[in-house]
Structure 1
Amino acid sequence: MNDTQVTLVGCVATRIDYKDTVNGPSARFRFAVTPRYFDKRAEAWTDGTTSFYTVWARRSLAVNLAGSVSVGEPLVVHGRLRVREDPPDGEGKRWISAEIDATAIGHDLNRGTAAFRRVVKTDTPLMATQKASVV
């Protein structure tokens, strides 16, 4: 209920790391977000500081992501923001990381075109058994 929902626009920075786990498919990648602003003094558009996020996708989103996205492609990512602080390492440095549990991911159509293909879901073995016993 109180999750922070964010929508980010950026580019895929690493390859998609896809795994089948006991809880279902899972995928992750690093996402680079660079704000642009108009510098009035230079009278030109300028890039700001790039922020990197780890994006996590689960279940069917993970499967579709792994089959659709490559490094360098522009995306729009929507999901829950999680900020983690790791304990200090041996040198006393603390790490803070920002992760997104994605609920939706799509190509940024301001920067290119995409061809959408709907995924046809098949019956699960349990449903197929139930249908066969009904007949």
Structure 2
Amino acid sequence: MNETMVCAVGRVATQPVYREMASGPSARFRLAVTARYWDREKNMWTDGHTNFFTVWANRQLATNTAASLTVGEPVIVQGRLKVRTDVREGQSWTSADIDAVAIGHDLAWGTSAFRRGGKPEAAPAPAQPEPNWETPQEGSSVPTGAPAQQPPEPVALT
């Protein structure tokens, strides 16, 4: 499909707004992207024009966005650019939205610790006793009354 994909680097300008919709979770926030350039006359970095985008996130990205972002944090957003023009009450306005595919902290400005988001479970798993992870030394036997336990089979993450 012919879509305009963009990658915008900026700062979170508004606190993300999270909503549960019939189609699934949705979140939005404003992203401020300010151009910076080296001013040779002043011998310093200078801020240029600031563009504001409304970033839309859906499903799990929306949930993680609302839990992870706060105003002022540097972020990188990748997604589809949607430019809309409308006339309301005689006034013409244009908005630039990004339908996000990926959102992350900009690590050029600091550190971040990744935590995998949990999936809701239907029912809690029954408690199992902790297996004996120690490997018996060669020539020793397993103590009586304690059956040898094998580590659990690996589980594929989905």
Common fold: TM-score over 0.5: yes
The separation in 1 between residues aligned to 2:24 and 2:78, in whole angstroms, is 21
Residue 115 of structure 2, aligned match among 101, 114, 117: 117
CA RMSD of aligned residues (A): 1.4
TM-score (norm 2): 0.74
Q: Which has the larger radius of gyration?
A: 2
Instruction: Please list every run of 5 or more consecutive structure 2 residues that lacks an aligned counterpart in the other structure.
Output: 124-158
The percent of aligned pairs where both chains have the same amino acid is 57
The separation in 2 between residues aligned to 1:55 and 1:46, in whole angstroms, is 26
The separation in 2 between residues aligned to 1:116 and 1:58, in whole angstroms, is 19
For 1:68-79, list aligned pairs within 5 A: 68-79=68-79
| 2:70 counterpart SS class | coil
Partner of 1:82: 82
Residue 103 of structure 1, aligned match among 77, 90, 101: 101
Partner of 1:49: 49
Partner of 1:20: 20
The separation in 1 between residues aligned to 2:71 and 2:118, in whole angstroms, is 26
Deviation at 1:120, TM superposition (A): 3.5
Instruction: Please list every run of 5 or more consecutive structure 1 residues that lacks an aligned counterpart in the other structure.
Output: 126-135
| 1:117 counterpart SS class | coil
1 or 2, which has the higher helix percentage?
1
